[in-house]
Amino acid sequence: MTRIDARFAALKAEGKKAFVAYIMAGDPDIETSLAVMKGMPAAGVDVIELGMPFTDPMADGPTIQLAGQRALDGGQTLQKTLDMVAEFRKTDDVTPIVMMGYYNPIYNRGSEKFVADALKAGVDGLIVVDLPPEEDAELCIPAKNAGLNFIRLATPTTDDKRLPKVLQNTSGFVYYVSVTGITGSQAAQAGDVGPEVARIKASTDLPVVVGFGISTPEAARTIAGVADGCVVGSAIVKLVGEGKSPAEVLARVAELAAGAHSA
């Protein structure tokens, strides 16, 4: 059982929904992003998604694109992102960490080496948005065999024919993308999301969390109310981009987490 599995089991036993928070590693520098990351558990974050900066983040809107560029301009690398996880693990061996990003940096490092290094650093799961199920042999299966959860995205266009393929080697949880398009582009609607979550849950025992388009505590509450949890990314990353201090960012994270936990 991974930390992700354990966290969702504990939340289910408590009758609570998960609050998943995303930040970009190294944005605007390692010190700031690590301070935010270290403060997240106390702010109510159940699972941390740590973005791997990449030059061509095709699923991300301007807010996260700019965050990745700031991180890269500051010298952030895949190794430094893994080092952030290792540093976090010195004081927290419980909170699940999911690394989220694109395959190119991992391919450049070598999949086997990346999986070994990620496990050593203390990573629990991976979301690699540009690796479809047809490419599972590249990273998904080696990661699963090594003990890392490989979390797949399902979207409004994932129909009943495609869904079994998407779920095939998924573990940890299913990430349902609430809107068509890029991150931060439009608001998620519980009325649209609820039936889709139910459709996915009819085909899997995995928790289903919903991301994209959630930017307020109220939205976190309503979306988490029709799923097993919610993900907030752009709304947090935007505050970092505005130059807010880690304390100010974490205060907003706590408000968002409280919204999700009240669902």
Catalytic site positions? 49, 60
> In the numeric block, which tokens belong to residue 159?
């129909």
For helices 246-261 and 234-241, give the axis angle rounded to 10 degrees: 160
Query: CA-CA distance, 27 to 241, in Å (whole number)?
Result: 8
Q: What is the DSSP string of 78-113?
A: HHHHHHHHHHHHTT-SSS-EEEEE-HHHHHHH-HHH
- The conformation of residue 151, written as its DSSP 8-state character, comes to P
Q: What is the DSSP string of 168-217?
A: TT--S-EEEE-SSSSTTSS---HHHHHHHHHHHHTS-SS-EEEESS--SH
> In the numeric block, which tokens belong to residue 171?
């573990």
